[in-house]
Amino acid sequence: MEQQSETTRLKVAIIGCGRVSAKHIRAISRLSDKMELCALVDTNPDAPSSLLHSCKKKIKNYNSFCASIHNYIDYKEMLSDIHPDIVGITVPSGLHFQVAKDCLEAGANLLLEKPMTMSNKSSRELYELAQNLGRVIVMGHIYRYFPIVSLLHQDMVDGKFGKVGHGSVIVRWGHDNDYYHSAAWRGTWKSDGGALMNQSVHALDLMCYLMNAEPVSVSGMIANRFRDMEAEDTALGVYTFNNGALCQVEGTTSTFPNDQEASFFINAEKASIRIGLRKGKPSYSVTTPKGKNLAFKYLRRYIKEVGLSYLIQVAKNPHYGIYCDLYRSITEHSAPVADGRSGYVAVDMVLGFYKSVLKKSEVGLPLPSEFKIEDMTKVQLR
Ligand SMILES: NC(=O)c1ccc[n+]([C@@H]2O[C@H](COP(=O)([O-])OP(=O)(O)OC[C@H]3O[C@@H](n4cnc5c(N)ncnc54)[C@H](O)[C@@H]3O)[C@@H](O)[C@H]2O)c1
C-alpha cells in the first residue's frame, strides 16, 4: 500500500445510493478534514441526487460538500475516472462480491456493508484478496462501534470477566411487507437471505467480539410466520463457541416495525453484561457478582479514551466510527476493528445455521466447504 500522510484527504466513492447510504454520506460529511466524497454511483440515475437531497439538513456546508461529487451509473467507469482511495459498498447483498472484488483490484480500500457476501467461499476469497493486495476491508458491523463495546471486548481479552458461561442475542428488527415489496432483492434467498443473513448477521458478529471466541457448531430452526418474503422471517438457534460457551439466538423481522430491538447478554464468571438498543435508545449494564453496575465507570473510561465529540457522533451514527476506523487503518497501517475476517466468520455463522436447518442436525463450524444459500429454496417454510 502507498504511504499515506496523516493529513492526506482520501478520495471516497459510494456505490449504491439506497437506504443505508445516507448513513455513509452523513459520516463522510463529518470527516471533511480526512476525506472528500468524489463520486456517487447508482444504476438508477435519479438516486444520487435524491440521496443528497434527503441528507441536506444534516450536512454542514452542503453546497461545498456537493461540489466535488461526480455521479455515475457504471461503477467500473467511476473506478477508472476517479481512482478512489475508499469505496463504500451499499448495493444489494447479492452484488457485494463482484463489486468489492472489482474495487479492490482497482486499488481501493472498502467499507463493505454486511453481509460480506452471500457465500462463505466468496467471503473468504475477498478477505484473502484484500490481504494479498495490501488493502483494507472494514465491515459495516455497526454494533462493534457502539460506545463502550471496544472496552468490554478488551477487558474480555484481558480476562477481567473470567470464564464465559453463555450468551444470548435477540434481534427483533421488525419490517413490514412494504419493506419487502420495496425492492425485488429483499427477502430472497439468492440476494438477501432472511432475518439472520440481513438483520442478525452483525449481531452474531458482536457476540463473537464480546465473547472473544469463535463458533464451532450450530443448530437452528427457521420459519416464515408473517412476512411476504421467500426466506425466513424468524430464526431460533444455539451456537457453541470454542471457549465452551453456548449462545442462543433469536432473529426476527416479523415483530412491529416501530418497536425494533437488538439485545445482547453475556453471562461471565465476574460480570453479566447487557447491551441493548430499543426504539433507537441504547442501554448498558455491566453487573458485578455483588450487584454493582459498572456501566457509568465504562462510559467515563470510554469518554477519556475517545473524547466526548467522537462519542456523540458515533452514538448518533455508528458509520461515523467505521469511517474513522477505516481512515486510521489506511493511514496508520493498523487492523480495523470490524476487519474482513469478522466479515467471513459472520457469513459462515449464518450459512452454518441455514445448513443445519436443511440437514435437520447440528453443523460444525467453520463450514468445511461451500454452502450454497440457493439450496435453501428446498426448505418448506411455515
Ligand atoms: N450496516 C447496516 O446497518 C446496514 C443497514 C441497512 C442495510 N445494510 C446493507 O446495505 C446494503 C444495501 O441495503 P439498502 O437497504 O440500502 O438497499 P437499497 O435497495 O435501498 O439500496 C441499494 C441501491 O443500490 C443500487 N444498485 C443496485 N445495483 C447496482 C449496481 N450494479 N451499481 C450501482 N448501484 C446499484 C440500487 O439502485 C439502490 O439504490 C445491503 O447489503 C444491506 O444488507 C446495512
Per-residue tens of pLDDT for the chain, all 382 residues: 444 445 679 999 999 999 999 999 999 999 999 999 999 999 999 999 999 999 999 999 999 999 999 999 999 999 999 999 999 999 999 999 999 999 999 999 999 999 999 999 999 999 999 999 999 999 999 999 999 999 999 999 999 999 999 999 999 999 999 999 999 999 999 999 999 999 999 999 999 999 999 999 999 999 999 999 999 999 999 999 999 999 999 999 999 999 999 999 999 999 999 999 999 999 999 999 999 999 999 999 999 999 999 999 999 999 999 999 999 999 999 999 999 999 999 999 999 999 999 999 999 999 999 999 999 999 999 8
Going from the Cα of 92 to the center of ligand 1, the distance in angstroms, rounded, reads: 4
Q: Please indicate whether residue 203, judged by its CB atom, sits closer than 6 Å to ligand 1.
A: no
Closest residue by Cα to residue 95 from 190, 200, 184, 204: 190
95 C-beta closer than 6 A to ligand 1: yes
pLDDT at 106: 98
Hey, what domains does the chain have and what are their CATH numbers? 10-142 (3.40.50.720), 143-312+341-364 (3.30.360.10)
Q: Is the C-beta atom of 149 inside 6 A of ligand 1?
A: no
Query: 198 CB less than 6 Å from ligand 1?
Result: yes
Residue of the nearest CA to atom 9 in ligand 1? 113
pLDDT at residue 1, rounded to an integer: 43
Residue whose C-alpha is closest to residue 245's, from 152, 164, 303: 164
Q: Tally Cβ neighbours within 10 Å of residue 53.
A: 11
Q: Which residues pair with 251 in a beta bridge?
A: 171, 235
Quick check: 76 and 50 in contact, CB under 8 A? no
CA 298 to centroid of ligand 1, rounded, Å: 34
Q: Residue 349: its pLDDT value, please?
A: 98
95 CA to middle of ligand 1, Å?
A: 9
C-alpha to C-alpha distance for 327 and 31, rounded to whole angstroms: 10
Q: Is the CB of 18 under 6 A from ligand 1?
A: yes
CA distance linking residue 230 with residue 238, whole number of Å: 23
Interval between CA 337 and ligand 1 midpoint (Å): 22
Contact status, residue 127 vs residue 338, Cβ threshold 8 Å: no
CA of 77 to the centre of ligand 1 (A): 19
| pLDDT in the model for residue 5 | 47
